[in-house]
Amino acid sequence: DADVTQTPRNRITKTGKRIMLECSQTKGHDRMYWYRQDPGLGLRLIYYSFDVKDINKGEISDGYSVSRQAQAKFSLSLESAIPNQTALYFCATSDPRTGSYEQYFGPGTRLTVT
């Protein structure tokens, strides 16, 4: 089984709808991240969390919110989706206590807002 899972894998929604993307991990890592990837723009950080009580905005947090329900779960919400939020969304984890800052990514959620 994958260590970092994301649901749904694909989603098409309409402008104005609320949508939640979910991420779960079995790696026991404290740090979790949400990124979006657009063609030609690379990965951009939306939010990150160093533990359940520590949530921080990333580079492009406007229009998004997050919830860290437990160490293993980190959800990303779009309160009112708009077409320019169409992108590939990745969740990732890391744990510096291992001595490495390697990020482990989920398989991604492809979101289309029409």
Partner 1 sequence: RKEVEQDPGPFNVPEGATVAFNCTYSNSASQSFFWYRQDCRKEPKLLMSVYSSGNEDGRFTAQLNRASQYISLLIRDSKLSDSATYLCVVNEGGSYIPTFGRGTSLIVHP
Which spans of this chain sit near partner 1 (rule: CB under 8 A)? 33, 35, 40-45, 48, 58-59, 88, 90, 96, 100-103, 105-108, 110
Report which residue type is found at 112.
Answer: T
User: Least distance to partner 1 from the beta carbon of 80, Å?
Assistant: 25
User: Least distance to partner 1 from the beta carbon of 43, Å?
Assistant: 4
Give me the count of residues in the chain: 114
Beta carbon nearer to partner 1, 57 or 73: 57
User: Least distance to partner 1 from the beta carbon of 22, Å?
Assistant: 16
Bridge partners (DSSP) of residue 48 are 33, 56
Beta carbon nearer to partner 1, 15 or 41: 41
Beta carbon nearer to partner 1, 3 or 13: 3
SS3 helix, strand, coil % of the chain, rounded to 5? 5, 55, 40
40 class by beta-carbon count within 10 Å (0-12 exposed, 13-18 middle, 19+ buried): exposed
User: Least distance to partner 1 from the beta carbon of 9, Å?
Assistant: 11
Dist. CA 42–CA 33, nearest whole Å = 15
